[in-house]
A and B are shown apart, each in its own frame.
Chain A
Amino acid sequence: MAERTSATQRATREAVRATLEGKRTEPGAVIFKVMLLVMLLSSLLILVVLLADILIGAWPTMRDRGFDFITSGLSLNPETAGVWTGIIGSLIIAFLVILLAIPIGVGAAVYLEEYAPDNRLTQWIDTAVRNLAGVPSIVFGLLGLTMFVALVNGIGLGGSTEGKNVIAAGITMAALVLPIVIITSAEAIRAVPSTIREAGYGVGATKWEVIRSHVLPSAFPGILTGAVLTLARAFGETAPLLVIGVATGFFSASSDATLLDNLTGPYTALPVIVFSWSRQTDPAFAATLAPAAITVLLAILFALNGVAIYFRNRFEKRW
């Protein structure tokens, strides 16, 4: 049975309703929110305009040439020029990065995180690696020119380019991304909960067994994601290659060239092709072929990022 409400209760209810139902107006908050939205949209707009501009420029080439553009080599004739030489060069560089930077970087990260004593020297090395990751890529180009070109030449792989070839480029690029590999791997290793390590030691595992059987498998998805993103970086980087003598013009290997001749001869890479075509006076190169090459480069980079995201989701560990 409902109780009858007295006059005082009704009065209280009205008073409470008056305080609760008041709607606050804050002009500052509204302006702030709108400003944030504008900032977000403007950054998106830049991206969209950029992409649209490239795709519109690339469209005629893509439409008329299709796969022929991707599978054709360098040429003076814009009708037949393609990016294949650059894709091959970039793939060889990427392969060398996988071969050199990833094992060395992961190894260095494991040592830093698991073995190095926590002292001044370790902290200093840690800071140095972080700073190294921020060094402009052109500086690594100079390092490549003075060290790796000479090294490659010294061990007899100089070929017709006297060391300014794709092997030196790969080593330079590996050095460039090494600090990033170390940082991302170290972070993945650090993210493995200490409870897992304790559990391993608790059942009588040695340090090596704990690292091999528990820490590395648990950190693997993170390391892999970092490695793929690193590879994308190596794929897109241009400046160091320009310093160490990548071919910005046109070349063609003779038909009887061996694999070694190709590796030690002149080379180019995908981003370098974009660079050299944009500088051509022939508008066919600058206005249509360059955007098409950019489209190919972006497609590869997006694909690599997609692979990284896939790995992260597929193997992500939940503790």
Chain B
Amino acid sequence: MVSRMDDAMTTSADLVPGAEDLDLDAMVAPTGDEADDTHPIIINVENLNVFYGDFHAVKDVSLPIRQNEITALIGPSGCGKSTVLRCFNRMNDLVESARVDGTVEYHGVDLYSKKVDPVEVRRHVGMVFQKPNPFPKSIYDNIAFGPRIAGYADNMDDLVEETLHRAALWEEVKDKLNESAYALSGGQQQRLCIARAIATSPDVLLMDEPASALDPIATLRIEELMYELKKDYSIVIVTHNMQQAARVSDRTAFFSIELGETGQRTGRLVEFDHTTRIFTNPSEQETEDYITGRFG
């Protein structure tokens, strides 16, 4: 386990500067690193269809998410990967026109069953957003808000400290817990958002392009953190950055756009497999075209 992580970290460290002239094969984690199928499925998606009003955004997606793995959702803009991600914690409920068909099972419970309270779902499935979005409050309160509303009764100071340690942020912020979160750099803000997401002890962490607004160094730190976090959490990450998917994820789902008769652009899942296989030997031509940069 340790050596595997070291490998990955050196790989990503080497990759960061001048990522454009890297050859894709070198980026894929070493063979033998393939996640085994013994990890149980934690979220299982079956025939997921999402509509925004009349617009069919995502079509027939079936996808298992496994425990303690990082699953990457990649694909061109508008392919519905974020939409799929937002079904995992019912974030799509916030969009009035959104309608979801099919099942999203979390530990075998359908999240879209009528009895399920979306607020409870989000306490089990945390989320990190594209742009760092700390609350306009102190660093301490950013972490404490979630546990507080969830009725956490133990020592809050301890929880805040432990959470910040887990998010590898404690050393940088321990002297300014009462300062505004907005005083932090973008990368620190995003790690604070990750800390905020894990403060409520979810077991799944959704990340919607968490590093797209960050510089390469901050991106690297987020990726290192993800590697650390997958020991305790199952992570699903949406990313535009294929190298990032190759570096951090165990499995990759490649989404693409299907043009309807009326020019409607509907997202669909093209291929889902071990990340190594997706990046070295994909079974679909479309996947290969995308990852080698011939399309998208």
Contacts and interface: CB of A to CB of B under 8 A. Distances in A.
A309 interface: no
Interface in A188-218: 193, 195-206, 209, 213-214, 217-218
Interface residues of B, number: 27
B200 interface: yes
Nearest to B199: A203
Contacts of A317: 136
B149 A202 contact: no
A118 interface: yes
A203 B200 CA distance: 7
B96 A198 contact: no
B159 interface: no
A195 B122 contact: no
Interface in A84-123: 117-118
Name the prevailing secondary structure of the A interface residues: helix
A182 B128 CA distance: 34
B156 interface: no
Nearest to A193: B133
B123 interface: yes
B61 interface: no
Interface residues of A, number: 23
Interface in B128-186: 128-129, 131, 133-136, 145-146, 149-150, 182
A202 B96 contact: no
Contacts of A202: 89, 91, 122, 126-129, 197
A24 interface: no
A13 interface: no
Contact of B122 (A196, A204, A318): A204
A201 B120 contact: no
Given A203-B200, A205-B119, A206-B149, 19 more contacts: A117-B96, A118-B96, A195-B131, A196-B136, A197-B94, A198-B94, A198-B133, A199-B135, A201-B91, A201-B122, A202-B129, A202-B197, A203-B122, A203-B145, A203-B149, A203-B197, A205-B146, A205-B149, A318-B182
Interface of B: 89, 91, 94, 96, 119-120, 122-123, 126-129, 131, 133-136, 145-146, 149-150, 182, 193, 196-197, 199-200
